[in-house]
């Protein structure tokens, strides 16, 4: 029975490892094949661990039965022991059950970036009771499934990125809109960025009149994770286009007015104080 169990384990392990290796082949992000591969990378390691436990338990019970050991009381005792362990390890049971429901809901997969409360990062792997999240700055965090709560998945379908541009009050807004439209066409024709853009860059109009600037709002829709690169490129091109066409970005300034004979009140007060002190000493 031990030899048969070892043979079954080696066969199933090879099959599962082959499936994991195939799921790691490079595929175009966002396609149906990429989604299926991410799903397999998430579920196959879990399936492999379940098979290992199942094979070990069945082989052990079968071997004991072949040796003449009555396994009925063992199974009943194991059931009672399992209930006792369940009451004594409610947190562990909660984590395991939460894991099952997260996987059934397909809330996240290996390789996706998620956030839950103060925890966020890319899903690297699962264990029986926890998930490992790699933060974008490097640290890895092991979070029990029971503590995840509501999960925000940032790697599904698409991302809408909105940002504001402050220009001075003498700006020709129609001219600014046409320049941004030209930049949109340039990004759409760039093969490096076009494949990640779902809806092109668009100036939506005036957001608000600020104290020193007209705030205009822009919007674009990209594939998840690509919005940062495309936004930086759009910022660089907007800066260049606005400078070449005389459109100024607004920023707070301080202007002090007055003739040469005018003396600031604070400076005049200091001078008068020094003069009075000097007269008192004399």
Residues of the chain with pLDDT under 50: 262-263
* Shared-domain flag, residues 68 and 14: yes
Does the residue 253 lie in any domain?
no
Does the residue 280 lie in any domain?
no
* Shared-domain flag, residues 148 and 202: no
Residue where a domain terminates, one of 33, 58, 88: 88
**CATH number reported for the structural domain that contains residue 235 in this entry:** 3.30.70.100
State the Cα–Cα distance between residues 64 and 71, nearest whole angstrom. 7
* Shared-domain flag, residues 210 and 133: no
Does the residue 124 lie in any domain?
yes
* Shared-domain flag, residues 198 and 222: yes
Taking only the tens place, the pLDDT of each residue in 130-150 is: 889 998 888 999 899 888 888
Does the residue 68 lie in any domain?
yes
The pLDDT of residue 217 is: 92
Whether the full predicted model's pTM is greater than 0.85, yes or no, is: no
Does the residue 260 lie in any domain?
no
The total of structural domains in the chain comes to: 3
State the Cα–Cα distance between residues 103 and 117, nearest whole angstrom. 19
Of 112, 111, 110, 101, nearest to 150 by C-alpha is: 101
Instruction: Find where tokens 């436990």 sit.
Output: 53
Contact 183, 201 (CB under 8 A): yes
β-strand 197-209 against 159-167: which pairing, if any? unpaired
Residue where a domain terminates, one of 30, 60, 88: 88
DSSP state at residue 262: -
**CATH number reported for the structural domain that contains residue 151 in this entry:** 2.30.30.60
Burial bucket for residue 21 (CB in 10 Å: 0-12, 13-18, 19+): exposed
The pLDDT of residue 147 is: 87
* Shared-domain flag, residues 167 and 208: yes
* Shared-domain flag, residues 238 and 175: yes
* Shared-domain flag, residues 80 and 3: yes
* Shared-domain flag, residues 57 and 82: yes
State the Cα–Cα distance between residues 197 and 177, nearest whole angstrom. 19
Give the range of the structural domain holding residue 57, as residue numbers without chain letter: 1-88
The pLDDT of residue 133 is: 92
* Shared-domain flag, residues 175 and 207: yes
Does the residue 163 lie in any domain?
yes
Residue where a domain terminates, one of 156, 175, 193: 156
Contact 218, 162 (CB under 8 A): yes
Does the residue 266 lie in any domain?
no
* Shared-domain flag, residues 7 and 82: yes
Does the residue 123 lie in any domain?
yes
* Shared-domain flag, residues 120 and 174: no
Q: How many Cα neighbours within 13 Å face the side chain of 60?
A: 8
* Shared-domain flag, residues 123 and 181: no
């Amino acid at each position: 029975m031990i030899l048969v169990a070892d043979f079954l384990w080696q066969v199933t392990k090879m099959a599962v490892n082959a499936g994991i290796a195939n799921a790691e082949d490079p595929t175009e992000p966002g396609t149906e094949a990429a989604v299926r591969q991410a799903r397999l990378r998430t579920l196959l390691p879990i399936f492999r661990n379940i098979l290992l436990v199942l094979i070990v338990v069945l082989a052990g019970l079968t071997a004991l039965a072949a040796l003449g050991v009555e396994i009925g009381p063992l199974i009943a005792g194991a059931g009672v022991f399992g209930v006792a362990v369940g009451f004594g390890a409610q947190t562990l049971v909660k984590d395991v059950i939460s894991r099952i429901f997260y996987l059934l809901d397909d809330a996240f997969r290996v390789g996706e970036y998620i956030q839950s409360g103060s925890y966020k990062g890319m899903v690297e792997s699962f264990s029986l009771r926890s998930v490992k999240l790699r933060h974008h700055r490097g640290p890895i965090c092991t979070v029990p499934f029971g503590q995840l709560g509501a999960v925000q998945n940032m790697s599904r379908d698409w991302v809408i990125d909105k940002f504001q541009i402050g220009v001075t009050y003498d700006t020709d807004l129609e001219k600014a809109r046409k320049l941004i439209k030209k930049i949109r066409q340039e990004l759409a024709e760039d093969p490096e960025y076009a494949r990640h853009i779902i809806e092109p860059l668009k100036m939506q109009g005036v957001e608000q009149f600020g104290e020193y600037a007209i705030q205009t709002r822009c919007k674009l829709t990209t594939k998840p994770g690509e919005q940062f690169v495309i936004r930086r490129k759009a910022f660089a091109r907007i800066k260049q286009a606005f400078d070449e066409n005389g459109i100024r970005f607004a920023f707070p300034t301080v202007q002090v007015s007055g003739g040469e004979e005018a003396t600031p009140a604070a400076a005049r007060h200091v001078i008068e104080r020094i003069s009075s002190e000097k007269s008192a000493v004399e």
